[in-house]
């Protein structure tokens, strides 16, 4: 049965992939984005009813992170509008090991709408489409918590799992913890990318205060600096997050992608060549 599905953050790392997969299956997908018509902006709730009109299911990604002040109120307000508009299913993308995000998860699970939480560990694509791409291109990766390990998950696996939840049965009320198959430190990630690209990448371990100071010198906004500091301390260094789960296999019946395969495919795509080509 073809469904009307709203993908919030539908131009982002996970949403773009989910929207493409749902569209390929013949579902009617509305992209939630500030540039779409009707436009969706977390800072302009007055526009939300028009975006949710006629939608049966919603994939929710919050920006920039469910841990930031104001997220709980925004998620509660969105679920109210979704209920008023007759939405039948919500799938929330959440972060592993974030206390504030867990409060948002409870708001969604208690919304009265069938809901599923996808709690993800850090994405492989942070190194190819997001904040860790630039250092890779520059050839020097200077990061704190050099040896803290994370079970990086691939955004394509996450998207497959989200699509399975949005289009399948029996996922209501569940909290899935999505991870990749292997724990890796920043030092190890850098070595894997160096091997896949054949480039020389230097890894420099630094302290968190040094990293924060570097972001300040680049003129990054204070709220983003706060978030990065939070993610490095509460999420990356949290032993609860340093666990590989079997939830991707449970949902999809296949193993998640290993970082080495992601690195090989991404190297072949040329994304990591930019500086070498200059």
Ligand X SMILES: NC(=O)c1ccc[n+]([C@@H]2O[C@H](COP(=O)([O-])OP(=O)(O)OC[C@H]3O[C@@H](n4cnc5c(N)ncnc54)[C@H](OP(=O)(O)O)[C@@H]3O)[C@@H](O)[C@H]2O)c1
The total number of residues written for the chain in this structure: 278
186 is a site residue for ligand X (CB under 6 A): no
247 is a site residue for ligand X (CB under 6 A): no
Q: How far is the CB of 98 from ligand X (least distance, A)?
A: 8
30 is a site residue for ligand X (CB under 6 A): no
Q: How far is the CB of 186 from ligand X (least distance, A)?
A: 13
Tell me the number of residues near ligand X by CB under 6 A. 25
Is the Cβ of residue 33 or residue 111 nearer to ligand X in the bound state?
Answer: 33
Q: Helix crossing, 71-84 with 99-109: angle to 10°?
A: 10
120 is a site residue for ligand X (CB under 6 A): yes
> Tokens 């982002």 — which residue?
12
42 is a site residue for ligand X (CB under 6 A): yes
Is the Cβ of residue 122 or residue 169 nearer to ligand X in the bound state?
Answer: 122
Q: How far is the CB of 167 from ligand X (least distance, A)?
A: 19
Range 243-250, long-range pairs (CB < 8 A, 24+ positions) = 243/151, 243/179, 244/151, 244/179, 244/180, 244/181, 244/182, 244/183, 245/151, 245/177, 245/178, 245/179, 247/161, 247/176, 247/177, 247/178, 247/179, 248/153, 248/157, 248/161, 248/178, 248/179, 250/176
43 is a site residue for ligand X (CB under 6 A): yes
Binding-site member from 85, 90, 97, 123 for ligand X (CB under 6 A): 123
211 is a site residue for ligand X (CB under 6 A): no
Q: How far is the CB of 213 from ligand X (least distance, A)?
A: 23
CA distance linking residue 271 with residue 137, whole number of Å: 9
Binding-site member from 24, 26, 34, 216 for ligand X (CB under 6 A): 34
Reference 180, options 133, 137, 124, 239; nearest CA is 124
Over the range 119-156, which residues count as b (16 or more CB within 10 Å of their CB) and which as e?
bbbbbbbbbbbeebbebbeeeebbbbbbebbbbbbbbb
Q: How many CB atoms lie within 10 A of CB 76?
A: 15
Q: How far is the CB of 179 from ligand X (least distance, A)?
A: 11
CA distance linking residue 214 with residue 1, whole number of Å: 51
CA distance linking residue 45 with residue 75, whole number of Å: 11
Binding-site member from 4, 11, 23, 25 for ligand X (CB under 6 A): 11
Is the Cβ of residue 170 or residue 240 nearer to ligand X in the bound state?
Answer: 240
- Scanning 3-11, 78-86, 213-221, 246-254 for contacts with ligand X by CB under 6 A, the matching segment is 3-11
221 is a site residue for ligand X (CB under 6 A): no
CA distance linking residue 149 with residue 186, whole number of Å: 7
Q: How far is the CB of 250 from ligand X (least distance, A)?
A: 18
Binding-site member from 9, 97, 151, 181 for ligand X (CB under 6 A): 9
Name residues contacting ligand X, limited to 44-103 (CB under 6 A): 61-63, 65-66, 93, 95
Contact set with ligand X (CB under 6 A): 9-15, 33-35, 40-43, 61-63, 65-66, 93, 95, 120, 122-123, 126
């Amino acid at each position: 049965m073809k469904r009307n599905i709203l993908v919030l953050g539908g131009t982002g790392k996970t949403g773009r992939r989910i929207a493409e997969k749902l569209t390929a299956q013949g579902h009617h997908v509305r992209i939630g984005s500030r540039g779409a018509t009707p436009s969706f902006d977390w800072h302009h709730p007055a526009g939300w009813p028009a975006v949710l009109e006629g939608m049966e299911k919603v994939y929710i990604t919050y920006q920039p992170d469910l841990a930031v002040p104001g997220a709980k109120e925004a998620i509660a307000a969105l679920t109210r509008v979704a209920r008023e508009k007759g939405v039948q299913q919500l799938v929330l993308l959440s972060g592993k090991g974030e206390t504030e995000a867990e409060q948002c998860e409870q708001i969604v699970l208690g919304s009265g709408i069938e809901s599923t939480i996808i709690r993800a560990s850090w994405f492989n694509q942070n190194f190819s489409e997001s904040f860790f791409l630039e250092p890779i291109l520059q050839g020097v990766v200077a990061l704190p918590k050099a040896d803290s390990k994370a079970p990086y998950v691939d955004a394509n696996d996450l998207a497959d799992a989200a699509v399975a939840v949005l289009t399948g049965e029996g996922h209501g009320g569940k909290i899935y913890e999505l991870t990749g198959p292997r724990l890796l430190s920043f030092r190890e990630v850098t070595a894997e990318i160096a091997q896949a690209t054949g480039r020389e990448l230097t890894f420099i371990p630094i302290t968190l205060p040094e990293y924060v100071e570097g972001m300040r010198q680049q003129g990054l906004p204070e709220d983003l600096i706060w978030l990065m500091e939070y993610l490095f301390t509460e999420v990356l260094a949290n032993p609860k997050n340093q666990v590989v789960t079997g939830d991707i296999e449970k949902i999809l019946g296949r193993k998640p992608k290993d970082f080495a395969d992601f690195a090989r495919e991404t190297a072949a795509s040329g994304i990591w060549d930019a500086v070498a080509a200059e």
